Structure 1
Amino acid sequence: MLGLLFIGLVIGALARLIKPGRQKLSIWMTLVLGVVGALIGGFLASLLGTGNIFELDFLGFVFAVVAAVLLVGVAEGASARK
């Protein structure tokens, strides 16, 4: 569980670095989006047969970062509308 939180924070931070512009997201929102991105990436990698949902290999990590970038964009858009 602690590993999932750590990798979620790393993936969330990478997603914020990749996404252009300034995001007004808290560290907790970054963590949540990173964990959700990690779960999505692990799930997609398991569908392709390269790992399982809780064991990120290279392809799962790439999917996780891409999913987190998309989630950061959605969260940024949702917070901008308020």
Structure 2
Amino acid sequence: MIGLIISLIIVGLIAGAVARLVIPGHQNISIPMTILLGIIGSFVGGFLGFLIFQRDAMDGFFQPAGIIGSIIGAIIVLFLYVRFAGRGAARR
């Protein structure tokens, strides 16, 4: 169980960091928020993968397609965050 949690944190950090590098501009979020961004992106990427392919590849936790899906999901989540949350922060 602790290994799963550590794996989620590591994959979340990697996916969140790559998403922050891909999306242009300065995102004012901390490292824990980057990890959370990657974890949420992992769920979004997994959900989109299931919608597209209509099945779940139960081949283990670490899969190249799963990590790529996590990064794509994190990019989508960060884009939406910058698009909608950044707008409110700019008005203050």
TM over 0.5: yes
Contact 1:16 1:72 in 2 (8 A): no
List 4+ stretches of structure 1 deviating above 4 A: 52-56
Based on CA coordinates, which of the two structures has the bigger radius of gyration? 2
For structure 1, list consecutive stretches of 5 or more residues without a partner in the other structure: none
Could you state the TM-score of these two structures normalised by the residue count of structure 1? 0.71
Shift in Å at residue 68 of structure 1? 3.5
Q: Which amino acid aligns with 1:40?
A: V
**How is 1:1-82 mapped onto 2 (pairs within 5 angstroms)?**
1-49=5-53, 51-52=56-57, 55=61, 57=65, 60-61=69-70, 63-74=72-83, 77=86, 80-81=89-90
The RMSD of aligned alpha carbons is: 3.0
Unpaired segments of 5 or more residues in structure 2?
Answer: none
State TM-score, norm by structure 2.
Answer: 0.65
Question: What is the identity percentage for the equivalent residue pairs of Structure 1 and Structure 2?
Answer: 33
